[in-house]
Copies of this chain bind each other. A is one copy, B any other.
Amino acid sequence: MNADKIPDIIIGRLPIYLRALQRMADSGLRTISSQELGEMVGVSAAQIRKDISQFGEFGKQGTGYSIAYLLEKLREILKVDRIWNVALVGAGDMGHALARYQGFVNRGFKVVMVFDNDQNKIGQHIGDFIIEDTANMIERIKSANIKIAMLTVPAPAAQHIADDLVEAGVKAILNYAPISLNVPKSVKVQYIDPSIHLQRMTFYV
Contacts and interface: CB of A to CB of B under 8 A. Distances in A.
Contacts of A193: 19, 103
Contacts of A12: 200
Interface residues of A, number: 59
A130 interface: no
A56 interface: no
Nearest to A192: B192
A160 interface: no
A148 interface: yes
Nearest to A188: B201
A205 interface: yes
B194 A101 contact: yes
Contacts of A42: 180, 182
A3 B193 CA distance: 24
Interface in A52-71: none
Contact of A198 (B14, B97, B100, B148): B148
Interface of A: 3, 11-12, 14-16, 18-20, 23, 39-42, 77-80, 84, 86, 93-94, 96-98, 100-101, 103-104, 107-109, 147-148, 150, 155, 171-172, 174, 178-180, 182, 188, 190, 192-205
25 contacts: A19-B180, A19-B193, A42-B180, A78-B199, A78-B202, A78-B203, A79-B203, A79-B205, A80-B202, A84-B202, A86-B198, A93-B96, A93-B100, A93-B101, A96-B97, A103-B178, A103-B193, A103-B195, A109-B195, A148-B202, A171-B201, A172-B204, A188-B201, A188-B205, A190-B198
